[in-house]
Amino acid sequence: MNKGQINPTRMELMKLKNKLQMSVRGHKLLKDKQDELVHSYISIVNETRALREEVDLLFSDVLGVFVKMKQKKALVDIYEMLMIPSSKIEIDYKHKSIMTVEIPKIDIKEIDTKGNQTYSEISAPMEINEVENKMNDLFPKLIKLSEMEQSIHLMTEEIAKTRRRVNVIENVMIPDLRDNIKRITMKLEDTERSNTVRIMKSKDIVMEKVLAERAKRNK
């Protein structure tokens, strides 16, 4: 509020006090939301870090086996062998809410279709089954990892937004309201003192006139 536009009345003072009360309550609610978001965020970050390490390890294992397989077969032959996946993954994409933040919730259902393959068990290198098994284990973890990393991104934005709101209310809005309430209160007190002095002076003048009239009648 512009200090030059403040109307120093009791009605305005009451409005500012109500607004201050609402701002303090809103600040507490936003602070509680921020604390809960940060708590959930840290939990998800720790879980994501552990899953990321597991995925990186699986990737390293798959690449190691794949390198061995390339030493026995040409790359084009390997791609032909792996053309048809050995399993199918169905995904159900939903949302869940954490402190009003809508984050993804991906449910995974794996269906085996091992009868579909484009290579002969006799001619294929023995590492191909290991690659398939590790990749079948890796894909669900990759999907889960993407879900959690997107959740972290969305929660990071919401935490930053909530922190900005908390800071504005705490450092700008509430101090301005308190300052304006103080200024109006001081002006009203000054006005009340001036009125009291004026009334007392008026009373003294009236008393002087009364006493003067009595003095005239007693002569």
**CATH number for the domain harbouring residue 81:** 1.10.287.3240
* Number of other CB atoms surrounding residue 128 within 10 Å: 21
User: Looking at the domain assignment, is residue 76 inside a domain?
Assistant: yes
Does the reported pTM lie above 0.85?
no
Is there a domain that residue 69 lies in? yes
Splitting the chain (219 residues) into consecutive groups of 10 residues, what average pLDDT does each group show?
67 92 94 94 94 92 83 74 71 86 84 59 69 82 92 95 94 94 88 79 74 70
Quote the number of domains for the chain. Answer: 1
Tell me the C-alpha distance between 147 and 152, whole Å.
9
Q: Is 5 a domain residue?
A: no
Query: Is there a domain that residue 97 lies in?
Result: yes
Residue 201 lies in a domain: no
Cα dist from 179 to 1, 8, 107, 164, 207, whole Å: 10, 13, 53, 21, 42
Any domain includes 145? yes
Residue 130 belongs to a domain: yes
In a domain, 40, yes or no: yes
- Domain hosting residue 15, numbered range: 10-170
